[in-house]
Amino acid sequence: MGCIHADRTIVPPFHAVYRQYFDFVWSSARRFGVPLHAVDDLVQEVFMVVHAKLAGLERPEALRSWIYGVVRRMASDYRRAQRTQVAAGILAGSYGDTVSPQPTPLDQLNTNADLELLSSLLEELDEPKREVFALVEIDELTVPEVAGILEIPLNTAYSRLRAARQAFEAALARRRERNRGRD
């Protein structure tokens, strides 16, 4: 059973939150640049934070936004830690552990042409536009929800989305034109 706040809003139980938001957390972590081999660990850490803080959530109606914020911060922390480790030269590979350059069967299963194309097109967008675009077009959040998550003015969110859509379409058209030239 979930917790009931004084304003009568209900915080759902953790197991329901986990089931409902697992895919969202996993895909958000990937879009934030967390490599496939580290996503499961990061997702587990995100849900540990969610579990620890869920009962004290002040705005249960903004649960999805709050979870997105947790993923965003943890992915940023992960990338920062990776940069620090690389700079310090202490990655696991430095100690003689070998990582196969061959993709695992899971990697091969997860890789297909459409996802690769989407990923490469998203990479062409600058981070603020990519973030708004992905939240609206992939995660199907509303623009007001995105503005709240990113803590930006609503008009800025709409402007970034419009610019991102235009840039995405232009990049897709360029890609199609290049592919036609190869045929």
pLDDT in tens, 137-154: 888 888 998 998 888 999
- CATH number belonging to the domain at 102-177, selected among 3.40.50.1820, 1.10.357.10, 2.40.50.100, 1.10.10.10: 1.10.10.10
What pLDDT is recorded for position 96?
A: 45
pTM of model > 0.95: no
Q: What is the share, in percent, of the chain residues with pLDDT greater than 70?
A: 78
pLDDT at residue 111, rounded to an integer: 55
H or E element that contains 4: strand 3-4
Question: How far apart are the C-alpha atoms of 104 and 112, rounded to whole Å?
Answer: 14
Query: Please, how many CA atoms are within 13 Å of residue 107, restricted to the half-sphere of its CB?
Result: 9
Contact 131, 100 (CB under 8 A): no
pLDDT for 155 equals 96
Per-residue DSSP letters for 27-93?
HHHHHTT--HHHHHHHHHHHHHHHHHHGGG-S-GGGHHHHHHHHHHHHHHHHHHHHHHHHHHT-SGG
pLDDT for the residue numbered 74: 92
User: Can you tell me the mean pLDDT for 52-71?
Assistant: 87
**CATH, range 1-93:** 1.10.1740.10
Residue 104 — pLDDT band, cuts 50, 70, 90?
Answer: low
Q: Where in the chain is the domain with CATH 1.10.1740.10?
A: 1-93
pLDDT tens across 6-61, in order? 555 677 899 999 999 999 999 888 888 888 889 999 999 999 999 999 888 888 88
Q: Which of 50-54, 85-89, 118-122, 169-173 has the lowest mean pLDDT?
A: 85-89
